C-alpha cells in the first residue's frame, strides 16, 4: 500500500468507459452470489474468485495449489490466482450494459449542456419522449411537395402530421404518439432516439468551444436568458478546462466494487445476511440479461423500451436510491441503501469511517468526587487499570525477569498474582491518562491526569475540574483513554494536563473556580458573623491568634487585631486600591487569618467576605499575578479549607429554617383589591386590554417585591438559608427562597409571555390544583427545549467548527496597515491580548497588549487605540500571528500552526449548547432574562445571515425626517425623508402596524440609520454601509444574545468566523481574466488574478463582496473533501468531478481522512 505521507494532492474526476474496464479484473455476467450446496462463490457471479481473488489465503478454488511458493500463479484448472484474501477488498469487476444509462448525479449538468429542463431530461431517460437527432432536409422537402398534392383530400390527421414535420428541428422532444405517427408516415425523413442512448449521441457530438463562444455572446447581450447562459457556461467551461468528455456522464459499463466492501455472511440454519448493494447489483444483472435476450430476439420496441427503462431505474437505484421516484425496497418494504447512502450522512464513509475512529485502550465508568486528590490527579479503579495497562504490565514483568516468556507473564497477569499490583504501580508512575466527558463541546472536555489506583468501580475526579468538563456527580460518565507511545505521553503532559488548562479558551477567564461546599466553607470562614467571645483583642502575629483560637479563647468570627507585617490589605474586592495599615496592624477575624495563610504573598491580605464571585476573581488575579503553579497550590488549599470548614459550620437546610412573613396575607389582599378595581375599569370599557394587562403585571410585580422585602426582614441574616444564598455556593438565589415561603408570583407561559394570573401560594403552604397546572407549563417547556434545542445547538457548533476549519496560524505577520479601532468603555476588556496596529503613547506598533500596558494607556488619557484584528488579516490562507494576538488559553502569543478557527467554533458553540440545557432548570419563572430558546434562533439567523421576518428598514440616503404620518384605520405609518442635497429628493418608507418608530420628525439622519426598532437585514447593511459596518453589526448582535444570558465569548473568536463569512466575492464582469461571470470565488484569489491581469495591461474583472451564511461558507471551501464530508455530498462530489478538481490537502479534515499528520500540529 502506498505511503500516505507521499500523497501531495487528491484529484477527482469522471471515469471514461476505458478506465472503468481497466480497473476491472473481469466481467460479472451472472446474478448469483454463492452456491447453495457448496457455499462457494459462483463463477462469473458477484463473488467470483476468478475476478475478485481467492477466499482463502494463497489457495485456489479447486485446492490444486496452496501456499506462498506459487505467488502470482494462476491455477490452470479453476483459473483463480494465488494471492492473499486482502485482494478481495481491492479488486473490482464490471458489468457490460446492453444499452447506455445516465448517472443520476449528473442529470442537472446534462440538462444545462443540452439546454433541456430537468423535467425534460427525466422524461427522456424514462423513455416517455423521443429526441430528434437528425433531419434529412431533402426527404423533408419531398414530403412538403407531397403534402401540397394531398392538401384537398380532407385527411386532417395527415395534414397535421405534415405541419409537425415542417416545424420539426434538431433537439426537439416528441411524445410517444406524434413520434409513432411521424415515423410511420415519414420513416426516412428524421432520426429520433430515446433514453440515455439519445443523450449520449448528443453529448458526443457537442462542440464545446463553439457552445462557449455562443454563450459568451448571450451573456454580453444581457437579455432574458443571460442568467441561464451563465449557469450553462460554468458547466461547459468545466469540461473544456478539465479535458474530460461530457459523454462520460453516460455509462456503458458499471463498476462492481470489491466483495469485501459488500459482504455476504452465512448464518446458522443456512440463512444469509447480505449487504444491500448485492441486491441492487442482482437486480441490474437480471434486467441487463433479460434486455440482451430481448434485443437478440428482436422483440417489439415497446417491450424493449420498457426493459431499458427498468435497467435505467435499477442503475439509478444502485447509485442513489434515496432520490429515485420509486425507491427499490427489500421484502419488508425497507428502502435499500445505495452507494450514495453509504457515503453521506453521520453513518456514511466520510463522517463515520474517515473522520471517526474507534479507539482501543479505553474504558468508561461513572464519576464521583475525590476530595483528597490533587488538581492533576484522578482516581482510577484497579479493575479498569488492570485491563487498560495489561500489555504494559506484561512488558514490565519480562523486563524485571519475573517471567521467562510472554506466555508465562500473561498467565501471571490472568492469575492476578500479588506482584502484578506493585508492577502496575510502577507502570503508572509519571504516566498520564486522558479523561473525556461527552458531549465533547470544546477543548477542555478532554484533559490529562496522573492516575491513582483506588478501590471500587467509579472514577474519582478532582471537584474543581467539574466546571471545565461541565460535569456533576449525578450519574455522569467519563471515558478513559491511554496515550500509548512516549511521544504521546509527553504531548499529553505538555498540552492536556489539567494544571496547564486553567484558562478558558473562549474568554481567557479561569476555567477552574471554586463551587458548592468549597465556596460555602470559604464564605463561612471569612463572613462577618456575630461572636460570643470578647472582641478587639490584640495579637502579635497570626500564629498567636491561631493558638488562642485552638485554646478556645476566641472563635472563627471574633473581631481581633493582628499584626500582619508590611502587606497590602484589601478591605473590599479589587479594583479598589489596597491599604497599608500603620504598624502593620489590621482588624480582622481568625477565619480570615486562616484563609489568608493559603494566599501567595503578591495577593496581599483579603479582609472581606469571600463569596463565589470574589473567589473566582481571586483565582483570576492569582493566575495573572503569580502564574499557573501558584494558582494550582492555591486551588488545592482552597478546596481543603472549604471542605473542612463547610463540615465544621454544620450548615444544613430544614423546613424549620423557612419562615412565612406575617404581612403576606395582608399584601395579597391589597393586590386582589387593586386587581378588582382594574377589572371593573376594563369591563366598563374605560381601559384597553393592553392597558389592563400592563396594570395587572405591575400590581403583582409590586406585591411580589413587597413580600420579598418582608421575607428578608423575617429571615435570620446569618441563618443557614441566607448564608447559602449570600455565599453563591448553589444556583439558588433569593427568588427561590421567595417561592418556598413567600409567593411564587408571576409565571411565563410556554410562548414566553408573562401570565397576568399569579400563583399566590408557596411551596411551604402548598399549591392549589390550578396553580400546579399553571406552574407545570414552564417546567414542561424546559424539558421539551432541552431535547429539541440541544440538537439544534450541536448542529450550530458543527457548522461553526467546519467554517473555521481552514483558519490555521500560517505566518508571523501579513504586514497589513489596517486595524480595528477600539475606544471606551470596552477598550480594556477587548484590547488585552491584541497587538497594536499603530503607535499609542509610549507603546510602538507591534506591541502585544497585556493588562498592565492597557491600564498604563488608559492612565495616560488615551481614549482610543487601533489594534490588529482577524477581520483585517491579509493572509491568503489561514491567519497571521500578529492579527490574532495572544492565545486566550495561555496568555502568550499564539503559536504557528494553532487551529484558531476550530477554537473559535468551539468557543461560540459551547455556550449555546450549555445555555440551551440550562432552560431545564428555569422552571418558567417570569424574570427579565430572555429565554435561550429566543436567543438560539437569533444566533442561528445571524450566522446564516437569514433575512429577518420583519426586517427593520434603514435609511438609504442621508437627510431630514420631514413627516411621520399614521393611518388611524390600519395603524400603518409613512415616513417622509427629504435629502439635504441641492436636488432635494424625497423618499417615503411604509411602516407596518405595531412597529415602534425609532426616529422623530425634523431629526437629521445618516445613511444606514434604522427607522424602526428591530432586527436589521445584514445584506442591506453590506450594500449601503460596506464591509466594516456589516462586521460590526454581526459581532455586536451575537454578543448581545450571549451577554444577555451571562456567557462570555471574546470578540476575537467571532471575528475569525465573520471573516470567513465575508471571504468570497461574486464576479460581475470577467474582464480579460479567465474568471466566469456569476461565479463565487475567494477574494484573495480574485485579488491575485486582478493583479496579474493589470500587470499585463489587461482589463481587470469586477466583483461584488458577498456575505455568506455558515453553510454556504463551508460548501464554497477550496477542499472538495472537506465540503463533501460536511453536507450535500452528492452535489459537491459531482461538481468536483465535472471540474476535475484537485484537493491540495492544506486543511485539517482532508489530511485526517487520508491518514496523514495534521498540518501545523505539535
Residues 1088, 1091, 1096, 1098: is their CA dihedral positive or negative?
positive
Q: What angle do CA 644, 650, 651 make, to 5 degrees?
A: 105
C-alpha to C-alpha distance for 70 and 327, rounded to whole angstroms:
47
Give the model's pLDDT for residue 932.
35
C-alpha to C-alpha distance for 31 and 28, rounded to whole angstroms:
8
- Residue 977, C-alpha cell as written in the block: 425623508
C-alpha to C-alpha distance for 243 and 236, rounded to whole angstroms:
11
Q: Give the contacts of 682 (CB within 8 A, at least 6 positions apart).
A: 689, 692
Task: Using the 3D structure, point to which of 500, 515, 538 is the last residue of a domain.
Answer: 500
Helix (H) or strand (E) holding 173: strand 173-175
How many angstroms separate the Cα of 237 from the Cα of each of 208, 1077, 1139?
A: 8, 12, 8
pLDDT tens readout for residues 887-896: 999 888 999 9
Give the model's pLDDT for residue 1162.
54
- Tell me the helices (H) and strands (E) count for the chain, helix number first: 42, 32
Cis upstream peptide for 1047 (omega within 30°): no
pLDDT tens readout for residues 523-582: 999 998 887 777 778 888 888 888 988 888 888 888 888 888 788 888 888 877 888 776
CB 584 within 8 A of CB 565: yes
Q: Report the mean per-residue pLDDT for the chain.
A: 88
CB 887 within 8 A of CB 898: yes
Place of cell 467539574: 466
- Residue 680, C-alpha cell as written in the block: 371593573
Give the model's pLDDT for residue 927.
44
Question: Which residue intervals of 381-457 are DSSP H helices?
Answer: 382-388, 390-399, 406-415, 419-428
Q: What angle do CA 74, 77, 79 make, to 5 degrees?
A: 40
pLDDT tens readout for residues 44-61: 999 999 999 999 988 889
Average pLDDT over residues 1054-1064: 96
C-alpha to C-alpha distance for 85 and 963, rounded to whole angstroms:
85
pLDDT tens readout for residues 468-502: 998 999 999 999 999 999 999 999 999 999 999 99
Place of cell 407596518: 992
pLDDT tens readout for residues 899-914: 999 999 999 998 876 6
710: in domain: yes
818: in domain: yes
422 and 484 in a single domain? The answer is yes
Give the model's pLDDT for residue 563.
87
887 and 962 in a single domain? The answer is no
Task: Using the 3D structure, point to which of 445, 477, 500 is the last residue of a domain.
Answer: 500
> Which pTM value belongs to this model?
0.89
Residue 923 has pLDDT above 60, yes or no: no
Average pLDDT over residues 584-605: 89
Confidence label for 930 from pLDDT (cuts 50, 70 and 90): very low
435: in domain: yes
pLDDT tens readout for residues 639-677: 999 999 999 988 888 888 888 888 989 999 999 999 999
Q: What CATH number corresponds to the domain at position 989? A: 2.40.50.100
Give the model's pLDDT for residue 931.
38
1003 and 882 in a single domain? The answer is no
Residue 14 has pLDDT above 50, yes or no: yes
386 and 436 in a single domain? The answer is yes
Q: What CATH number corresponds to the domain at position 463? A: 2.40.40.20
Of 313-322, 574-583, 598-607, 892-901, the least confident:
574-583
823 and 762 in a single domain? The answer is no
Give the model's pLDDT for residue 154.
57
Coil, strand or helix at 174: strand
Give the model's pLDDT for residue 913.
67
C-alpha to C-alpha distance for 135 and 190, rounded to whole angstroms:
4
Residue 178 has pLDDT above 70, yes or no: yes
Q: Is 1110 exposed, middle or buried (0-12, 13-18, 19+ CB in 10 A)?
A: buried
Average pLDDT over residues 224-238: 89
Residue 1112 has pLDDT above 70, yes or no: yes
C-alpha to C-alpha distance for 480 and 548, rounded to whole angstroms:
48
496 and 366 in a single domain? The answer is yes
- Residue 62, C-alpha cell as written in the block: 479447486
Domain of residue 978, residue span: 952-1014
Helix (H) or strand (E) holding 190: strand 190-193
360: in domain: yes
Annotate 911-975 with three-state secondary structure.
HHHHHHHHHHHCCCECCCCCCHHHHHHHHHHHHCCCCCCCCCCECCCCEEEEEEEECCCCCCEEE
867 and 756 in a single domain? The answer is no
C-alpha to C-alpha distance for 416 and 35, rounded to whole angstroms:
49
Give the model's pLDDT for residue 38.
85
800: in domain: no
Beta bridge partners, 966, equal 973
Task: Using the 3D structure, point to which of 1014, 1049, 1064 is the last residue of a domain.
Answer: 1014
691 and 757 in a single domain? The answer is yes
Residue 929 has pLDDT above 60, yes or no: no
- Residue 1125, C-alpha cell as written in the block: 464530508
C-alpha to C-alpha distance for 66 and 59, rounded to whole angstroms:
5
C-alpha to C-alpha distance for 810 and 870, rounded to whole angstroms:
13
C-alpha to C-alpha distance for 968 and 59, rounded to whole angstroms:
93
380: in domain: yes
pLDDT tens readout for residues 339-359: 999 999 888 889 888 888 888
Give the model's pLDDT for residue 920.
41
How many CB atoms within 10 Å of residue 1130? 18
Residue 281 has pLDDT above 80, yes or no: yes
Give the model's pLDDT for residue 786.
76
Q: Give the contacts of 886 (CB within 8 A, at least 6 positions apart).
A: 833, 834, 848, 892, 893, 894
Average pLDDT over residues 258-265: 94
Q: 936-942 long-range contacts, Cβ below 8 Å, gap at least 24? A: 936/789, 936/792, 936/793, 936/796, 936/912, 938/1015, 938/1037, 938/1041, 939/796, 939/912, 939/1038, 939/1041, 939/1042, 940/792, 940/796, 941/1015, 942/1018, 942/1034, 942/1037, 942/1038
848 and 986 in a single domain? The answer is no
Give the model's pLDDT for residue 284.
97
Residue 193 has pLDDT above 70, yes or no: yes
Residue 289 has pLDDT above 70, yes or no: yes
361 and 494 in a single domain? The answer is yes
862 and 753 in a single domain? The answer is no
Q: With the CA atoms of 925, 929, 932 and 937 taken in that order, what torsion angle do they form, in degrees rounded to the nearest 10?
A: 130
Confidence label for 292 from pLDDT (cuts 50, 70 and 90): very high
Coil, strand or helix at 192: strand
How many angstroms separate the Cα of 407 from the Cα of each of 404, 413, 424, 484, 493?
A: 8, 10, 18, 22, 33
363 and 490 in a single domain? The answer is yes
Q: Which of 569, 585, 538 is nearest to 548 (CA)?
A: 538
Confidence label for 962 from pLDDT (cuts 50, 70 and 90): confident
C-alpha to C-alpha distance for 911 and 300, rounded to whole angstroms:
68
pLDDT tens readout for residues 709-749: 888 888 888 888 888 888 888 887 888 888 888 888 888 87
Beta bridge partners, 836, equal 867
1087 versus 271: the higher-pLDDT residue is 1087
Q: Which of 693, 1059, 1001, 708 is nearest to 869 (CA)?
A: 1059
Give the model's pLDDT for residue 986.
82
Beta bridge partners, 475, equal none
Q: What angle do CA 597, 600, 605 make, to 5 degrees?
A: 60
Q: What CATH number corresponds to the domain at position 697? A: 1.10.132.30
Distance of alpha carbon 116 from its chain centroid, rounded? 38
pLDDT tens readout for residues 766-794: 889 988 888 888 778 778 877 777 888 88
C-alpha to C-alpha distance for 1143 and 1153, rounded to whole angstroms:
12
C-alpha to C-alpha distance for 736 and 733, rounded to whole angstroms:
6
Confidence label for 147 from pLDDT (cuts 50, 70 and 90): low
Coil, strand or helix at 586: strand
Beta bridge partners, 272, equal 266
Give the model's pLDDT for residue 534.
77
Confidence label for 153 from pLDDT (cuts 50, 70 and 90): low
1039: in domain: no
1031: in domain: no
Of 73-82, 415-424, 630-639, 960-969, the least confident:
960-969
Helix (H) or strand (E) holding 645: helix 628-649
Give the model's pLDDT for residue 138.
84
Place of cell 441486491: 279
Q: How many domains does the chain contain in total?
A: 4
Residue 799 has pLDDT above 90, yes or no: yes
pLDDT tens readout for residues 691-720: 999 999 999 999 999 998 888 888 888 888
Amino acid at each position: 500500500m502506498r505511503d500516505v505521507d507521499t500523497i501531495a494532492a487528491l484529484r477527482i474526476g469522471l471515469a471514461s468507459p476505458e478506465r472503468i474496464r481497466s480497473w476491472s479484473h473481469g466481467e460479472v455476467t451472472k446474478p448469483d452470489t454463492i452456491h447453495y450446496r457448496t457455499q462457494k462463490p459462483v463463477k462469473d457471479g458477484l463473488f467470483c474468485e476468478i475476478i475478485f481473488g481467492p477466499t482463502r489465503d494463497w489457495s485456489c478454488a479447486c485446492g490444486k495449489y496452496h501456499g506462498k511458493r506459487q505467488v502470482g500463479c494462476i491455477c490452470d484448472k479453476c483459473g483463480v490466482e494465488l494471492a492473499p484474501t486482502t485482494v478481495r477488498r481491492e479488486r473490482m469487476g464490471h458489468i457490460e450494459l446492453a444499452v447506455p444509462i445516465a448517472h443520476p448525479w449528473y442529470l442537472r449538468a446534462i440538462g444545462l449542456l443540452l439546454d433541456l429542463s430537468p423535467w425534460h431530461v427525466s422524461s427522456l431517460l424514462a423513455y416517455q419522449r423521443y429526441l430528434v437527432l437528425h433531419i434529412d432536409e431533402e426527404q423533408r422537402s419531398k414530403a412538403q411537395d407531397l403534402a401540397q398534392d394531398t392538401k384537398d383530400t380532407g385527411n386532417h390527421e395527415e395534414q397535421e402530421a405534415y405541419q409537425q414535420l415542417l416545424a420539426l428541428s434538431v433537439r426537439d422532444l416528441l411524445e410517444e404518439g406524434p413520434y409513432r405517427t411521424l415515423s410511420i408516415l415519414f420513416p426516412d425523413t428524421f432520426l429520433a432516439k430515446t433514453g440515455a442512448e439519445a443523450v449520449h449521441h448528443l453529448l458526443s457530438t457537442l462542440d464545446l468551444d463553439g457552445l462557449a463562444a455562443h454563450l459568451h455572446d448571450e451573456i454580453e447581450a444581457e437579455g432574458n436568458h443571460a442568467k441561464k447562459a451563465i449557469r450553462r457556461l460554468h458547466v461547459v467551461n468545466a469540461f473544456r478546462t478539465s479535458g474530460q468528455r461530457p459523454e462520460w456522464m453516460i455509462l456503458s459499463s458499471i463498476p462492481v466494487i470489491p466483495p469485501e466492501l459488500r459482504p455476504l455472511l452465512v448464518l446458522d440454519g443456512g440463512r444469509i445476511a447480505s449487504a444491500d448493494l448485492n441486491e441492487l447489483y442482482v437486480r441490474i444483472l437480471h434486467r441487463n440479461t433479460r434486455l440482451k435476450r430481448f434485443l437478440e430476439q428482436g422483440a417489439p420496441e415497446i417491450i424493449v423500451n420498457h426493459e431499458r427503462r427498468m435497467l435505467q431505474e435499477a442503475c439509478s437505484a444502485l447509485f442513489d436510491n434515496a432520490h429515485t421516484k420509486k425507491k427499490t425496497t427489500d421484502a419488508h418494504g425497507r428502502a435499500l441503501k445505495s452507494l450514495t447512502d453509504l457515503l453521506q450522512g453521520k453513518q456514511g464513509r466520510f463522517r463515520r469511517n474517515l473522520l471517526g475512529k474507534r479507539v482501543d485502550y479505553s474504558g468508561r465508568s461513572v464519576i464521583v468526587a475525590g476530595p483528597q486528590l490533587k488538581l492533576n490527579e484522578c482516581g482510577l479503579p484497579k479493575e479498569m487499570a488492570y485491563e487498560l495497562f495489561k500489555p504494559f504490565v506484561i512488558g514490565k514483568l519480562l523486563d524485571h525477569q519475573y517471567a521467562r516468556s510472554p506466555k508465562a507473564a500473561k498467565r501471571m497477569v490472568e492469575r492476578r498474582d500479588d506482584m502484578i499490583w506493585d508492577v502496575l504501580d510502577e507502570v503508572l508512575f509519571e504516566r498520564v491518562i486522558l479523561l473525556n466527558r461527552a458531549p465533547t463541546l470544546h477543548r477542555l472536555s478532554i484533559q490529562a491526569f496522573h492516575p491513582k489506583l483506588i478501590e471500587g468501580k467509579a472514577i474519582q475526579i478532582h471537584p474543581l475540574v467539574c466546571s471545565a468538563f461541565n460535569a456533576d456527580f449525578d450519574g455522569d460518565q467519563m471515558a478513559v483513554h491511554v496515550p500509548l507511545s512516549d511521544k504521546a505521553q509527553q504531548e499529553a503532559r505538555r498540552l492536556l494536563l489539567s494544571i496547564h488548562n486553567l484558562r478558558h479558551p473562549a474568554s481567557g477567564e479561569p476555567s477552574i473556580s471554586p463551587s458548592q461546599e468549597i465556596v460555602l466553607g470559604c464564605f463561612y470562614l471569612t463572613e462577618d458573623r456575630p461572636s460570643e467571645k470578647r472582641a478587639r483583642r490584640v495579637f502579635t502575629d497570626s500564629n498567636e491568634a491561631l493558638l488562642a483560637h485552638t485554646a478556645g479563647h476566641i472563635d472563627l468570627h471574633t473581631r481581633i487585631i493582628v499584626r500582619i507585617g508590611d502587606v497590602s490589605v484589601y478591605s473590599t474586592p479589587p479594583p479598589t486600591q489596597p491599604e497599608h495599615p500603620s504598624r502593620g496592624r489590621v482588624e480582622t477575624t481568625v477565619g480570615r487569618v486562616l484563609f489568608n495563610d493559603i494566599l501567595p504573598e503578591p495577593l496581599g491580605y483579603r479582609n472581606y467576605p469571600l463569596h463565589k464571585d470574589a473567589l473566582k476573581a481571586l483565582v483570576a488575579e492569582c493566575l495573572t499575578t503569580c502564574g499557573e503553579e501558584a494558582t494550582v497550590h492555591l486551588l488545592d488549599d482552597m478546596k481543603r479549607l472549604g471542605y473542612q470548614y463547610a463540615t465544621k459550620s454544620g450548615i444544613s437546610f430544614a423546613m424549620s429554617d423557612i419562615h412565612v412573613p406575617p404581612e403576606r396575607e395582608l399584601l395579597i389582599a391589597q393586590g386582589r383589591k387593586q386587581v378588582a378595581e382594574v377589572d371593573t375599569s376594563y369591563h366598563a370599557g374605560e381601559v384597553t386590554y393592553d392597558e389592563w394587562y400592563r396594570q395587572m403585571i405591575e400590581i403583582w410585580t409590586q406585591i411580589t417585591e413587597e413580600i420579598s422585602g418582608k421575607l428578608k426582614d423575617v429571615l435570620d441574616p446569618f441563618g443557614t438559608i441566607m448564608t447559602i444564598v449570600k455565599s453563591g455556593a448553589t444556583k439558588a438565589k433569593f427568588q427561590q427562597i421567595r417561592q418556598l415561603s413567600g409567593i411564587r408570583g408571576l409565571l411565563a407561559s410556554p410562548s414566553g409571555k408573562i401570565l397576568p394570573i399569579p400563583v399566590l401560594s408557596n411551596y411551604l403552604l402548598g399549591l392549589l390544583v390550578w396553580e400546579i397546572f399553571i406552574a407545570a407549563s414552564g417546567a414542561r417547556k424546559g424539558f421539551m427545549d432541552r431535547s429539541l434545542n440541544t440538537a439544534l445547538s450541536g448542529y450550530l457548533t458543527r457548522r461553526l467548527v467546519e467554517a473555521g476549519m481552514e483558519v490555521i496560524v500560517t505566518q508571523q505577520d501579513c504586514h497589513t496597515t489596517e486595524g480595528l479601532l477600539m475606544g471606551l468603555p470596552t477598550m480594556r476588556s477587548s484590547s488585552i491580548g491584541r497587538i497594536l496596529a499603530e503607535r499609542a503613547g509610549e507603546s510602538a506598533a507591534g506591541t502585544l497588549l497585556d493588562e498592565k500596558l492597557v491600564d498604563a494607556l488608559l492612565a495616560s488619557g488615551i481614549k482610543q487605540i487601533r489594534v490588529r484584528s482577524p477581520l483585517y488579516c491579509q493572509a491568503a490562507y489561514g491567519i497571521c500571528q500578529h492579527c490574532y494576538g495572544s492565545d486566550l488559553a495561555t496568555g502568550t502569543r499564539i503559536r504557528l500552526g494553532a487551529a484558531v478557527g476550530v477554537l473559535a467554533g468551539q468557543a461560540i458553540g459551547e455556550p449555546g449548547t450549555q445555555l440551551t440545557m440550562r432552560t431545564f432548570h428555569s422552571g418558567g419563572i417570569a424574570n427579565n432574562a430572555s429565554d435561550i430558546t429566543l436567543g438560539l434562533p437569533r444566533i442561528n439567523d445571524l450566522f446564516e445571515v437569514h433575512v429577518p421576518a420583519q426586517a427593520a428598514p434603514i435609511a438609504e440616503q442621508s437627510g431630514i425626517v420631514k413627516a411621520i404620518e399614521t393611518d388611524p384605520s390600519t395603524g400603518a405609518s409613512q415616513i417622509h425623508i427629504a435629502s439635504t442635497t441641492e436636488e432635494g429628493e424625497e423618499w417615503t418608507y411604509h411602516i407596518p402596524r405595531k412597529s415602534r418608530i425609532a426616529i422623530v420628525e425634523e431629526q437629521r439622519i445618516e445613511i444606514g440609520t434604522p427607522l424602526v426598532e428591530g432586527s436589521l437585514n445584514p445584506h442591506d447593511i453590506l450594500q449601503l454601509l460596506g464591509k466594516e459596518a456589516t462586521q460590526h453589526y454581526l459581532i455586536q448582535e451575537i454578543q448581545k444574545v450571549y451577554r444577555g444570558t451571562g456567557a462570555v465569548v471574546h470578540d476575537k473568536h467571532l471575528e475569525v468566523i465573520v471573516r470567513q463569512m465575508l471571504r468570497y466575492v461574486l464576479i460581475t464582469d470577467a474582464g480579460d481574466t479567465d474568471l466566469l461571470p456569476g461565479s463565487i470565488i475567494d477574494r484573495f484569489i480574485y485579488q491575485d488574478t486582478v493583479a496579474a491581469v493589470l500587470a499585463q495591461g489587461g482589463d481587470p474583472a469586477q466583483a461584488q463582496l458577498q456575505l455568506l451564511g455558515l453553510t454556504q461558507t463551508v460548501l464554497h471551501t477550496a477542499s472538495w473533501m472537506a465540503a463533501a464530508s460536511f453536507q450535500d455530498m452528492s452535489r459537491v462530489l459531482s461538481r468536483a468531478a465535472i471540474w476535475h478538481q484537485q484537493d491540495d490537502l492544506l486543511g485539517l479534515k482532508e489530511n485526517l481522512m487520508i491518514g496523514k499528520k495534521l498540518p501545523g500540529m505539535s
